[in-house]
Amino acid sequence: MRLNIALILSIIIAVGLVTFGFTFYQISSERAKLNGEHEKRTTEIAERIANISSIFNRHNHQVDFMHLVDSINSRYNLLDIAIYYSNDSIVTSDFSRDITNLSLDYVSQSIASDTSIGNYISVNGKEVYQYIKPVKTVNFTSHAIILYTDAEYIDSIVNNIWFRNFIRWFIQALLVSLVTVIVIRWGFYSPVNKIVDWVKAARFGNIDQLKLHPPAEFLAPLHKEIVNIAKAMHEAKATALEEAQLRTNAEAIWTSERLTVEMKNLLQSKKMIVVSNREPYMHIHEGKQIKCLVPASGMITAMEPILKASGGLWIASGTGDADKETVDKNDMVQVPPEEPKYTLKRLWLTKEEEDHFYYGFSNEGLWPLCHIAHTRPTFRAEDWKYYKKVNENFAKAVLAELTDEEQPFILIQDYHFALLPEMIKKEKPNAKVAIFWHIPWPNPESFGICPWQREILQGMLGADLIGFHTQYHCNHFLETVNNTLESRVKWDDFSVKMGGHTSFVKPFPISIAFTQRDYENSIPKTKSAQLLEEHGITAQYIGIGVDRIDYTKGIIEKFLAIERFLEKNPSYVGKFTFVQIGAPSRTLLKDYSDMVSSVEKEANRINWRFKLKNWKPILLLKRHHSHEEIAPYYSGADFCMVSSLHDGMNLVAKEFIASRNNNDGALILSRFAGASQELQEAIIVNPYDIEKSADAIKQALEMTKEEQQLRMKHMRQVIVKYNIFSWAASLLRTLVSIHD
């Protein structure tokens, strides 16, 4: 209330001062204008009267003279006229006699200087303008006429302006005050009250309540920060409760907080560097703004907790069209944007390097070579030259950050940088170097296709630790080394000794950030009707698949299994729809662009065959989807189908399991995905066996609730125990324990 009164008074005073200033200026201008017009008019009248010769005839009879004066006054609207002959001879009326006598000095001055004089005087409280004009008669005698005009109207006009402006000021002040009060109540108090509600919700960690109150545009940044605070408080509270439960149960489930403590103990202030081709955050232009995105990648999901815990450095290729605009002079940027925890350093690939290093050797050579999916790898000398060059560039960037580091920790990611471990070790032998190979490793005969297999193996063996998803891939790698290089392979501890250096080869099944509190969270299940309604489809059952459109993912085989399922089970026609979320990938390569076309054609063919009104068997959503967009499909589907023809791990399977808070649903999982070795309670299939895959779909849809819960609960417990934090801790503990 006090604030309202203070603001209203301030507005009244401010408006009043402004109004007074403008009115004063207006009146000054208006008075000057009116005075000028009045004086000009009086001067003109004086000129006309001076031309009346009879008026200066002092022999005029008094009555005749007064009659002439009255006539002139009436004609020109004058108050009076006085005729000056000499100081002793002035003809005037009673009205102006006393005034004229008092003005004799002015009259004498006017006659002496032969100049007219005008001045304003007050007569009986009335404003009167006195004008003295000297006149030469025919006998060269100097006389003067004195005119008296009414100037009172000027004050009346000025006073009227004051009055009108006062009324205007009063109305303006009243309206502005009322509008201000309304604006304060609705534009200030309302947002403030909303902020109070947000802060209360944040204090209690109630994120859902925060989302129920969308902010006004100008409050969006504050709302975002409060939501982040609420999340942090909620997570801290949940973590404390979780840790207390784990201590009570004497269990050792890994969390991000536990990993942070473990990282500090392991690193002991030593620098941590992660190297990958794909960056964890990319900046793109969206209209006139720059937006920060997190690329979909299992590798990013795995490595970011390590960097957040250590506050280290991530070196990667910059690929966003706004990446260069967001880095500093050292090509670095702090991430995540909302709460920086570590540094991202971007390196820039030329068009030639991207074509030959990334698309060429990495994705037309090593990718199909390691994925036994019946796609022939292509090896070109030019691609190999650029592959080595980019590896050298990244090695230089890493070493430039290690000038003052004696024993840093370096984690190299994936098949793009097979040569990097050896390059770093040559210059920094005390560095602890690990390389994690996120894709499968083929058998020795298959890998022998590569013309530069020796150089790749030697480069990887520069690392102290070489990690794969499964022991099966470790065995293939060791067999490949044993058959290719002069080295000593020790199968008892899975290591390779070559040139005085020992490399350990270990399995580290990668996972997702899924903890005990996530396991216990209860989130309402999304209804399948809601998911399909926006696409104009009505179905009782829904299946989900989430893949990059890649020839290793078995999407065509999946569609053929769906077709066969409907053939064998016609009662599901019109009732079951499979949603395939497919993200186009590497479409500049012919094999990938052809795969996109093949997937579309196969979906259209099957849909055309079975399509009914408001229903089709396959809904293909061909674009990149965020985790938030995919989550409702995970929770609403009756089953998820992963049909990889060859896959290192496949985190989609684990993400689907993590979303099943009610322990319902089913997972159909390819035996050729690394995840199948951990998730034994899934329905394991050979995706090439279309008949058995079709039967698996029926089994998933008709599985009893009891069996669903038994299977899903077991798989969810597996990914809680072996989550991404456990993976990171195991990898780092192993690396730290290695001694040269």
For residue 294, give every residue at least 6 positions away whose Cβ sits within 8 Å of its Cβ, in sequence order, or none: 280, 281, 300
User: Which of 57, 208, 46, 172 has the alpha carbon at shortest distance from 117?
Assistant: 46
CA angle 503, 508, 513 (to 5 degrees): 140
Distance CA 265, CA 455 (A): 36
Q: What is the DSSP letter of 527?
A: P
Position 379 pLDDT exceeds 80: yes
| Amino acid at site 338 | E
248 pLDDT band (50/70/90 cuts)?
A: very low
Distance CA 581, CA 201 (A): 35
Determine the average pLDDT of the residues in 83-95: 67
Determine the average pLDDT of the residues in 97-111: 71
Work out the percent of the chain whose per-residue pLDDT is above 70: 83
* Helices 62-76 and 2-50: angle between axes, nearest 10 degrees: 140
32 pLDDT band (50/70/90 cuts)?
A: confident
Decide if 27 contacts 158 (C-beta within 8 A). yes
pLDDT of residue 722: 92
Q: Where are the domains of the chain?
A: 2-156, 266-507, 523-722
User: Which of 91, 39, 98 has the alpha carbon at shortest distance from 69?
Assistant: 91
For residue 170, give every residue at least 6 positions away whose Cβ sits within 8 Å of its Cβ, in sequence order, or none: none
pLDDT of residue 244: 47
176 pLDDT band (50/70/90 cuts)?
A: confident
Sign of the alpha-carbon torsion through 601, 602, 608, 609: positive
Position 578 pLDDT exceeds 80: yes
pLDDT of residue 694: 97
Q: What is the residue whose two structure tokens read 């270990």?
A: 506
pTM score over 0.85:
no
Decide if 514 contacts 726 (C-beta within 8 A). no
**In this structure, which topology does domain 2-156 adopt according to CATH?**
Beta-Lactamase (3.30.450)
pLDDT of residue 249: 44
Decide if 578 contacts 668 (C-beta within 8 A). no
pLDDT of residue 333: 95
Least confident of 11-20, 30-39, 127-136: 11-20
E strands, 89-231, in order? 89-91, 117-123, 126-136, 142-150
Determine the average pLDDT of the residues in 379-393: 97
Position 48 pLDDT exceeds 70: yes
Check if CATH label 3.40.50.300 holds for domain 266-507.
no
Same fold, 266-507 and 523-722: yes
Pairing of strands 126-136, 142-150: antiparallel
Least confident of 15-29, 177-191, 353-367: 177-191
Decide if 513 contacts 256 (C-beta within 8 A). yes
Distance CA 519, CA 661 (A): 7
How many CA within 13 A on the CB side of residue 690? 14
User: Which of 80, 78, 77, 53 has the alpha carbon at shortest distance from 66?
Assistant: 80
Q: What is the residue whose two structure tokens read 């969206």?
A: 286
Domain spanning 523-722: CATH superfamily? Glycogen Phosphorylase B; (3.40.50.2000)
Phi-psi region of 499 (alpha: psi -120 to 50; beta: other; left: phi over 0): left
Position 529 pLDDT exceeds 50: yes
Give the Å distances, CA to CA, from 187 to 7, 176, 216.
Answer: 15, 15, 10
CB atoms near residue 358 (< 10 Å): 23
pLDDT tens-place string over residues 617-633: 999 999 888 888 899 99
Position 564 pLDDT exceeds 70: yes
706 backbone dihedrals φ, ψ, rounded to 5°: -65, -45
Determine the average pLDDT of the residues in 561-567: 97
Determine the average pLDDT of the residues in 436-464: 96
pLDDT tens-place string over residues 120-149: 887 777 788 888 888 776 564 577 888 888
For residue 288, give every residue at least 6 positions away whose Cβ sits within 8 Å of its Cβ, in sequence order, or none: none
Report the length, in residues, of the chain. Answer: 740
User: Which of 483, 450, 399, 413 has the alpha carbon at shortest distance from 648?
Assistant: 413
pLDDT of residue 358: 95
Longest CA span, the chain: 152
Position 531 pLDDT exceeds 80: yes
Sheet containing strand 465-468, strands side by side = 332-335, 342-347, 313-317, 272-275, 409-413, 432-436, 465-468, 501-507, 495-498, 488-490
For residue 387, give every residue at least 6 positions away whose Cβ sits within 8 Å of its Cβ, in sequence order, or none: 356, 357, 360, 361, 362, 419
DSSP string, 254-278: --HHHHHHHHHHHHTT--EEEE-SS
